[in-house]
Each structure stands twice: as C-alpha cells, then as structure tokens.
Amino acid sequence: MDLAIVGLPLSGKTTLFQALAGPHAQRDGGRQADARREHVAVVRTPDERLEKLAALFQSKKVTPAEVRLHDLPAPLERGAALSGEAASSLGQADAIVHVVRAFQREDVPHPEGSVDPHRDVEALNLELAYHDLAIIERRLEKLDTVVRSARPGEREAGLREQQLLRRLKERLEQDEPLRGQVTDESEMRQLAGYGLLTLKPVLLLVNIDEGDGGRTAEVEAEFRSRHPGPQTEVVALCAKLEAELAELPEDETAAFRHELGVADNGAGRLLSAAYRLLDLVTFYTVVGDECRAWPVPKATTALAAAGRIHTDMERGFIRAEVIPWDRLLEQGSLAEAKKHGLLRTEGKQYAVQDGDVLHILFHV
C-alpha cells in the first residue's frame, strides 16, 4: 500500500511523516527533511494478531504488512501546477492523506493569516480538481482528432472515451470530486493511466493541538459532517505529539499518553483507517519458521490469495485449509484445531475473511 501525504504549507505533513515513520523505518535518505523534495519511508503496520500468532508458533521470523509513505513537497501555491515528482507519486498512490492544519502556534503563522481547516480542505480539493481538469481537457482535444480520422471500430472506442471524459469534466466543473463517480470496472481500467487525483480515496488527517487529544472523536465527527463523500475517512491526531512519542522507547509511551489524555496510538489509528478506506482485509500464513501478514482487497478469493504468496501456489492450487486466527489461538495448535474439526477445507472461489489463517496446498 502506498500513501501520498500532502497538505498546504506549514500544515504539519512532514511532522506526520516523521511520526508514522518513527526512528527505525527504512528511509530514502537522512533524517533531516528537505521541503523541496519527496521523502519515502517503509513502515511496518502494527498488528497484535500477528504478534499473538507468532508467539503461538514460536516463529523466528515475523513479517508484518508494510506501508510505503511518500512525503511530497508542498505543491500547492494557489493556482500553481503540481510538480512532476509530486504529480507522479500522487498518481501512483493507492490513497491520499491530506493533512489539514487545526493547531494554533504563534511561532508558526498560517500562510493565509488565520487557521481555518475547513477552508484549507476546500483549497486543496480545488487544486486537485484543477489538476484533473487539465488532464481531461488535454485528452479531449486529442480525441477530437482521433475520432475524426479513426477507422470505424477505433472511432466507436474514441466516442465512448469522449462521453466518459465529458461526464467527468462536468462533475469537476460542479466542484464534485470524482471519487465514487465511476463504478463500472471497465471505465476504471480505462482511467487507470490518467493519474486523476480526485478519483483516489482520501484520508483527511486533522492535525490538532496537543491539548485536544481527548477530543479526537468530536473533531472527527465534525469533519465527517462538513466533508462527506464516498471513499473518505477522517482521523484527528496531534502530529507533533506523535512524532515526539515515536522517539521514545515503547515502554515509556503508554505512561506519557495516559498523562496527556491520549489513550491510543495515533499513527496506528491512521494506518487502520487507511485499511478501511481501501477496503483491505488481512490474512496470515505460518510457513516454516515465518509468520506473515498479507493485506488483500476484500472478497479476494483463495486462489488469488495463493498467487499473492507465490505464483506457483496459484498455478498448482489444490485447496486451502482455513481457520480464523482467534479460534486457532483458542485451540493452541493446528493439530488441535484439526482434531476438533475447526480447520476448514475451502476451494478456489472461497472469499478470504479478515483474520483468516491460510495453509495453501498446491502441486506443480
């Protein structure tokens, strides 16, 4: 999963990147941020279920799911085009994390002169819509020539593409993002190479003051009400606080959170929200001395899950042995689960469920 972190200048997006990446994440360079270039980090997703399964099997190697974070240079001077690097990373991202400033700091003045997070949400939405409109208008200009000079079969395809793009252009001109506007799979495939940014799921990250840590649910409810829409999630946290806590040993963070009235791990909440936003589930495998988590889209079949592990498994798939992770913990071993009839046998079309432990039987 790739998440592109964007925001207006001084919104705290790089601080959020540091909070998520933590001191031990794999990075593309040094710790010092450079606002003029993209920074990338690979982050392991916290997973209590994986830890418990690894303890049960005494696994020597534990492999959690990973998220690749892209901290992009602020592309958003009003009306300015996105830079090539930013546009490329945004176009390839699975989702956009939009950091919205809701904190007050006299030593960090807001570029607009006042803190107004709802205004800032609309400002970024407008910039992304400008980006998409420019792409669509350029393509429509080329299609005019294609449709006039093409052979009959190619002309029909061009006309269908024109119709689709004109429909999307009309939506954007009405200040509507494209998320949820395209539900036909063939149309989505057709648009895959366009890099349309308002088509992507968006996670609004409301960057609040340290003193508002106990109000996260209230803030999230407000933003969901003010900015509704499909494929949209909201998380409120204090990026500065999370970045500071990420530097501390794990055994000290709980005490600090309790003292500050911040009950849970904000970075973990954000990653969980990203999984919900992208409609992902996680299944687990235990092979040899490795216990591993595998995120896949909801409704992924056992056959496709086998291919996610290794193409040979998909090619030679025989069947899958399946048990929910918590039932496996209750039984204490796969042998006990099998003895009590809890290890199910499923075929190729079985829809993998969140928390399933899979053992794929195959032959090549």
Structure token digits, residue 211: 């003193």
Query: Comparing 23-32, 131-140, 208-217, 254-263, which segment has the lowest mean pLDDT?
Result: 23-32
Tell me which of 70-79, 139-148, 228-237, 276-285 is least confident. Answer: 70-79
What is the model's pLDDT at position 290?
95
Strands, sheet with 66-71, edge to edge from the N-terminal-most edge strand? 26-27, 39-44, 66-71, 2-7, 95-101, 202-207, 232-237
HEC string for the chain: CEEEEEECCCCCHHHHHHHHHCCCCEECCCCCCCCCCCEEEEEECCCHHHHHHHHHHCCCEEECCEEEEEECCCCCCCCCCCCHHHHHHHHHCCEEEEEEECCCCCCCCCCCCCCCHHHHHHHHHHHHHHHHHHHHHHHHHHHHHHHHHCCHHHHHHHHHHHHHHHHHHHHHHCCCCCCCCCCCHHHHHHHCCCCCCCCCCEEEEEECCHHHHHHHHHHHHHHHHHCCCCCEEEEEECHHHHHHHHCCCHHHHHHHHHHHCCCCCHHHHHHHHHHHHCCEEEEEEEECCEEEEEEEECCCEHHHHHHHHCHHHHHCEEEEEEEEHHHHHHHCCHHHHHHCCCCEEECCCCECCCCEEEEEEECC
**Given this model, what pLDDT does residue 30 score?**
43
Residue that wins the pLDDT comparison between 259 and 278? 278
- Banded pLDDT at 308 (limits 50, 70, 90): very high
Q: What is the mean pLDDT of residues 10-39?
A: 71
Tell how far CA 244 is from the center of its chain: 23
**For the domain with range 2-47+64-116+199-277, which CATH number is right: 3.40.50.2300, 3.20.20.140, 3.40.50.300, 3.40.50.410?**
3.40.50.300
* 265/99: higher pLDDT: 99
Residue 31 pLDDT grade (very low, low, confident, very high; cuts 50, 70, 90): very low
Comparing 60 with 24, which gets the higher pLDDT? 60
pLDDT of residue 82: 60
Check residue 263 and give its pLDDT: 63
CATH 3.10.20.30 fits 299-362, yes or no: yes
pLDDT of residue 36: 61
- At 112 the pLDDT is 87
pLDDT value for 152: 73
* Section 288-311 average pLDDT: 96
Q: How confident is the model at residue 218 (pLDDT cuts 50, 70, 90)?
A: very high
Comparing 74 with 174, which gets the higher pLDDT?
174
Q: pLDDT tens, 153-163?
A: 777 888 888 99
Q: What is the pLDDT of residue 83?
A: 58
Give yes or no for residue 323 having a pLDDT over 70: yes
Looking at the predicted structure, is the pLDDT value of residue 266 above 90? no
- Tell me how far apart the alpha carbons of residues 202 and 199 are, in angstroms, rounded to a whole number: 9
**85 confidence band (pLDDT: 50, 70, 90):** low
Query: Which pLDDT belongs to residue 315?
Result: 95
Least confident of 46-60, 187-201, 219-233, 314-328: 187-201
pLDDT tens digits for range 113-141: 899 999 999 988 998 898 899 999 999 98
Residue 76 has pLDDT above 50, yes or no: no
**Which pLDDT band, with edges at 50, 70 and 90, does 32 fall under?**
very low
Residue 250 has pLDDT above 70, yes or no: yes
Please report, for the chain, the start and end positions of each structural domain, with discontinuous segments joined by +. 2-47+64-116+199-277, 126-191, 299-362
Average pLDDT, the chain: 87
